[in-house]
A and B are shown apart, each in its own frame.
Chain A
Amino acid sequence: MGIEIKNIYKRFGSLTVVNGVSVDIADGEFFVMLGPSGCGKTTTLRMVAGLETASEGQIFINGRDMTHAEPRHRDIAMAFQDYGLYPNMTVFQNIEFPLKIRKLAPAERRRKVEETAGRLGISDYLGRKPAQMSGGQRQRVSLARALVRNPKVFLMDEPLSNLDAKLRAVMRTEIKKLVTDLGITTIYVTHDQIEAMSMADRIAVMRKGDMVQVAPPLQVYDRPATCFVADFIGSPPMNLFKAELANNGRVVCQVQGFGDALDDAERERARAMADRHGHFAVGIRPEHLQCVAAGTPGSVEGIVELVEPLGQTTNIYLLSGDTKYVVVTDRTSLRAGDTIGVIAPGDKVRAVGLDR
């Protein structure tokens, strides 16, 4: 059950936009596809919706092969980035439209529209036209229209990216709560890592048409599969240092002190993921690096280049040899030009594979 995507491709002429994506999405799961623009996430979603046809591969929705079905036969709902409301209809008529097509009795339609509008807090606007509403209200209408017919599957294409930051945070929690309460299988497309981290049961990070990593949010954060994932998630992103395996099995790293901090398990992983020349990367989250006094045993010496106080945390940009990286700490009296020691705790240092 749920949604099963089997090895789908989408090609436009010689351009391959989706490159053999396969994934099983469980019933009731909140699945987020995350990636930069042009990575194929929206195209993948639109193929599930039936708005694009797959060049190759199959899509199963609730166990039925829907690869070539018309959108209207798939029993899905969708929310669009620009809301996709019918500008000629009032809010009430917008939400009612899918019910009207299903030929529900007028009284039943009215009851359902009012119930759904109430749940989304737009009961007061039922008589308005979309043009008379704010972005947040419009997105609520589009959600109401999607939810009013109790869909099994809900597809969302960057529904919050046209809203301001504050409203986005509010809508994020609302959407998550709504679809979780209703138990709807959801595929959510976004380029915003915070949305992905906060809402997803599982995140699929996409790059150039490939799903690079599919895992629960914290696992994606803690154990990024490739340098692309490590760099895309986290703000500031994970520090990555070039490394390779020497013939004797030793790790040679751009900042040797950090390479030496890899524990045995990570070394083992590094061996498995290193490319045919033995290259990989050593990754450390900025908040896991610790600043100590210069010369502390086991520390790497670094020169402070820039201190960026953000209030809650402080970013310290460091230079070791000719390698730049960043440490996130609490408030600090360090200033540019200071020399300090940096320690990478062994259990926080990761081996990260290179991207193809």
Chain B
Amino acid sequence: MARSDTKTADKAQRAGEGRIAMLLLAPTMIVMTVVGLYPLLHSLYISLTNYNPTFGGGSSFVWFENYARAFSDPQFWNAVGLTLIFTAISVAASLVLAVALSVLFNQRHPGFVVLRTIILVPMLITPIAVGITWRVMMMPDLGVLNYLLGLIGIPPQLWASNASTALLSVILVDIWQWTPFMFLIVFAGISSLPKSPFEAAAIDGASPLRSFFSITLPMLKPVIVIATLLRIVDAFRTYDTVYIITRGGPDFSTDLVSVYLQRVNFRFFDLGYGSALSWLVLIIVLLVVLIFVRLTGFMKLVADKENR
């Protein structure tokens, strides 16, 4: 048998494999294009028009007018600012809580297994249900929160009904709901850490606090970075709980971008302008993620992991 024969056979076979690969990938590619790529590009197109179905008829091309309008829209920048504050506080607080809980639950005590499971419950509840439950709990007159505060002698609060406390109230709900998610990831990370460095640190003379900051945290960094990244992206598009509890109010004090976008797009049906805003938000999220990735050396962490 000549060598070239087997070579061509190889080639034919490889070409066949290529075709099969394409065939197998095709359904996903088609679906992704139809429900993902096409809407994305179409919204980019709409954002360059003054399309508004309630005005009837067609739309005309306005180029970057919508984007220019967005830059001078105080309502929009208020929403962006609120969302950044919301995300920063919620993610930071749930991260600290998650790490603290992980360290606590990493000490093996009987009974911790049950508690650990209970902690995960908020994450499993539908956001709408979470919103309704918390709205009722936060009612200034009938809510259980004010009742509990009364028991320890703290005067009743207005919670989400007051412009100065509404944002903190919805942040509280978000922390409550999503700390379990952070906890799940960080706890998995912490319980997979090797034991001997901690024993070595104890023998080297490190106090528990010292060994937490010098060893536990640095070793957990990759896990923490990934959990935080996921949470940032997720917190940025928070909609349902906030919409249920405050609808963006009072006085736009909880008017997060997703709430504002919903209003522009589906109450005013100003779809051209709404699409432009959506694109701006997408760019802002990308920027935030990029800054975060740069600050934490995320890519280097990933590369380190792969080298090992």
CB of B205 within 8 A of CB of A86, answer: no
**Neighbouring A residues of B194 by C-beta, 8 Å:** 82, 84
Indicate the size class of the contact surface on chain A: 20 to 34
Task: Decide if A76 is an interface residue (CB 8 Å cutoff).
Answer: yes
> Contact mask A16-50 → B, CB, 8 Å, 1/0?
00000000000000000000000000000000011
CB of B196 within 8 A of CB of A101, answer: no
Distance, CA A252 to CA B210, complexed state (A): 66
Distance, CA A4 to CA B199, complexed state (A): 22
Distance, CA A80 to CA B203, complexed state (A): 11
CB of B199 within 8 A of CB of A80, answer: yes
Task: Decide if B283 is an interface residue (CB 8 Å cutoff).
Answer: no
**Neighbouring B residues of A246 by C-beta, 8 Å:** none
Given the known inter-chain contacts A86-B214, A88-B218, please indicate yes or no for A101 contacting B204, CB distance below 8 A. Answer: yes
Distance, CA A87 to CA B219, complexed state (A): 7
> Contact mask A69-95 → B, CB, 8 Å, 1/0?
011101011101111111111000000
Tell me which of A70, A82, A86, A89 contacts B202 (CB under 8 A).
Answer: A70
User: A157 to nearest B CB, angstroms?
Assistant: 9
CB of A101 within 8 A of CB of B203, answer: no
**Neighbouring A residues of B6 by C-beta, 8 Å:** none
Most chain A CB atoms below 10 A, which of B196, B202, B219: B196
Given the known inter-chain contacts A82-B196, A83-B196, A88-B219, please indicate yes or no for A77 contacting B210, CB distance below 8 A. Answer: no
Task: Decide if B124 is an interface residue (CB 8 Å cutoff).
Answer: no
B interface, by DSSP: helix, strand, loop or mixed?
helix
CB of B204 within 8 A of CB of A49, answer: no
In the complex, residue of chain B having the shortest beta-carbon distance to the beta carbon of A71: B202
Task: Decide if A237 is an interface residue (CB 8 Å cutoff).
Answer: no
**Neighbouring A residues of B200 by C-beta, 8 Å:** 78, 80, 84-86, 142, 145
**Neighbouring A residues of B204 by C-beta, 8 Å:** 72, 77, 97-98, 101, 145, 149
CB of B205 within 8 A of CB of A102, answer: yes
Chain B residues with a Cβ closer than 8 Å to the other chain, count: 21
Distance, CA A100 to CA B221, complexed state (A): 22
Task: Decide if A265 is an interface residue (CB 8 Å cutoff).
Answer: no
Given the known inter-chain contacts A84-B200, A86-B200, A145-B204, please indicate yes or no for A101 contacting B210, CB distance below 8 A. Answer: yes
Distance, CA A98 to CA B197, complexed state (A): 13
User: A63 to nearest B CB, angstroms?
Assistant: 20
> Contact mask B180-197 → A, CB, 8 Å, 1/0?
000000000000001011
> Contact mask B196-225 → A, CB, 8 Å, 1/0?
110111111111001000110011010000
User: B58 to nearest A CB, angstroms?
Assistant: 61
Tell me which of B199, B205, B221, B307 contacts A98 (CB under 8 A).
Answer: B205
CB of B197 within 8 A of CB of A72, answer: no
Distance, CA A77 to CA B201, complexed state (A): 10
Task: Decide if A334 is an interface residue (CB 8 Å cutoff).
Answer: no
Given the known inter-chain contacts A78-B199, A80-B199, A80-B200, please indicate yes or no for A72 contacting B219, CB distance below 8 A. Answer: no
Distance, CA A231 to CA B57, complexed state (A): 97
Task: Decide if B3 is an interface residue (CB 8 Å cutoff).
Answer: no
Task: Decide if A51 is an interface residue (CB 8 Å cutoff).
Answer: yes
CB of B205 within 8 A of CB of A51, answer: no
Task: Decide if B108 is an interface residue (CB 8 Å cutoff).
Answer: no
**Neighbouring B residues of A98 by C-beta, 8 Å:** 204-205
User: A346 to nearest B CB, angstroms?
Assistant: 51
Task: Decide if A133 is an interface residue (CB 8 Å cutoff).
Answer: no
In the complex, residue of chain A having the shortest beta-carbon distance to the beta carbon of B207: A72
Most chain A CB atoms below 10 A, which of B200, B207, B215, B307: B200
Task: Decide if A167 is an interface residue (CB 8 Å cutoff).
Answer: no
Task: Decide if B267 is an interface residue (CB 8 Å cutoff).
Answer: no
**Neighbouring B residues of A72 by C-beta, 8 Å:** 202-207
User: B139 to nearest A CB, angstroms?
Assistant: 48
In the complex, residue of chain A having the shortest beta-carbon distance to the beta carbon of B210: A101
Given the known inter-chain contacts A86-B214, A88-B219, please indicate yes or no for A71 contacting B196, CB distance below 8 A. Answer: no
**Neighbouring B residues of A77 by C-beta, 8 Å:** 203-204
In the complex, residue of chain B having the shortest beta-carbon distance to the beta carbon of A129: B304
Task: Decide if B308 is an interface residue (CB 8 Å cutoff).
Answer: yes
CB of B219 within 8 A of CB of A80, answer: no
Most chain B CB atoms below 10 A, which of A80, A85, A86: A86
Task: Decide if A131 is an interface residue (CB 8 Å cutoff).
Answer: yes
| Shortest Cβ-Cβ A-B pairs, 5 listed | A84-B196, A88-B218, A84-B200, A98-B204, A71-B202
A86-B197, A97-B206 known; 11 other A-B pairs, CB under 8 Å? A70-B202, A72-B203, A72-B204, A81-B196, A83-B196, A84-B194, A85-B200, A86-B200, A87-B197, A97-B201, A149-B204
B interface with A by C-beta (< 8 Å)? 194, 196-197, 199-207, 210, 214-215, 218-219, 221, 304, 307-308
12 A-B pairs within 8 Å (CB atoms) are namely A49-B203, A50-B202, A72-B205, A80-B196, A82-B194, A84-B197, A84-B200, A86-B201, A86-B215, A86-B218, A89-B218, A98-B204
